[in-house]
Structure 1
Amino acid sequence: MAPKNIEDVDLYAVLDVPITATESEIKKAYRKKALQCHPDKNPDDPKAAETFHALSQALEILTDVSARAAYDKVLRAKAAAKLRHQELDSKRQKLKEDLERREKEAETGKGTCNLTDEQKLAAEIERLQREGSRLLVEEQQRMKAEIQKTMGILKEPVWDSSLNRIKIKWKVDKTDSSNGGYDEATLRRFLKKYGDIVALIMSPKKKGSALVEFATKDASEMALELEKGLPDNPLELKWLNERPVLTTKKKDVTGPSVISDRDYESLVLTKMRQAAERQKLIEEMMKEEQNKS
């Protein structure tokens, strides 16, 4: 996760925020930059993963109070040391560096209460490695979902009317030529007020039975809940598959195009497909009735 020389990386510069940035400002900067360089959006860039890792590392450390405090202390010390270095001549600089090196070597064997600032920062980063950063995980999951959504990858539940047909039944005597007072036109008159009807099929073999397919979930549910039909011969509506079914499909990100001969061909194919669906619906109804008989 974090390199051993993390104190040599300017995490604030990575996120392009000042050292005084609030946690909210740090998160905002991370989201903006991560969206631009996420590996999923840059599959051909070999450096995308490295850049994204650097952003994640900066977010992880700078949103943890203890780790950020330790990092800031090292950062300030390095800034002050750099200023002092600029004021020293080469000879004094070498003497100073030798002295600091010996002091660090001497500190290595002492207890944790006498750790150097760099060692304290390393300890904080090790703690983050052990504990894991919940905030980082949440941000990365959010980022992935956002990218998938913008790229049209995220799948959403959709209504497929062909999977959610409704069985309609009513009482009728076998010798009743009026089919209990119902025909296709009568059923359409009762049902169309709930929404567009994709298909409505009267049973070709059994009286008192039909199937309806609505274009939307709302229309289907309203019809199931509210429709009673004729007062003297009420309708009974039930899901053919016992309960509504949702499926998924990719978002359609294509826009409208200029009408061409191919579009007219598509309309013809659509009508042929609807006729085939209607025939399939009739066959399914007949098969269902044969299984029950």
Structure 2
Amino acid sequence: MATEEENVNAYELLKLETEATEQEIKTAYRKLSLKVHPDRNPNNPEAARLFHELNQAYELLLDPLRRLALDQKLRVKKARAERYKSYDAKRKNMVEELEERERAFKKTRLDKKNEEIKVQVETERIKEEGRKLRERKEEDIRKRNEERIKGQWVEEDDVEAPELHPLDTTIRLKYSLKKHPELTTPESIAKLLSGFGGVDTESIVLSLKAPKKSVDKRPKSGTALVPFKQIRDAFSTVSASGQGEHGLEGIEVDWVNGKEPQILSWLKKMGKLDNLLPTSASSSQNGASGTPARLPQDQSAGSSEFSSFPSTVPGSAAVDYESLTLLRMRQAERERLEREIREKEAAE
């Protein structure tokens, strides 16, 4: 029989003395088993367990060898209890102290084991937090690097100069013929503006307008579209609008599209627009050499800075397909603007 079964006192379960005969064992078992039989006690959840224990006790007591072992165990237990009763107070205290030490030792060992488990769990938690913190730092570094690289791309995009539009070097002049009666031909306008730089005289668009109600139909005002060969010179002319010292008193000068070209906005942003001054001022500032500050498109092909900018009007030896296309676009844009001027004058 298993140890657990032997720990149960079979005599106590069957309510018998250790000297009980085999017949007494059977009789006691029959009476008690009928009382706790599961079929007779369907509402008692303990009935099956009690019935099983009675069966185990009954089988044990009917087995001579197992009963002999149980009797021996009970005798030893009884003798120990009797000896313990005979102990004096001192020996009892010693036994109790020994048992207390054993319990304390077991408790200490259990507490130590629990503490080790607790430390292990805490260590794993710290490792996990460290791993998460490391991952967050790596993610932050990765994001900062991406933002830094992205910022570098944005800066590079900002440094890159915009494309030069075909009409970026063309300006619009509006003036009264009463104040400037000499400005009636493209040549006279080119001569007026020659102090600012080279002008494409053949491409000048000139419109002289007379008031509708005028009897003699004489022109009273003029509008001219003037293409410069360099955007620097066009900018200098617009900057000198209406200034008498440059011969532009009473003359309104503006960009042909009514707004500043993108290349000039870019130059302002890059801090390079201060070099674009009217010719007289530029000459005085540059000293005896008289070398004017150059725009990106004015740089020579060998220059390291802005060397990719095309010349506004390429020389005949350097005219290629791209330059021809640029010139044709400028001519088409001028023709469109000329038509708009004619239509506006007709409407007025």
TM over 0.5: no
Which structure: greater strand fraction? 1
Structure possessing the higher radius of gyration over alpha carbons: 2
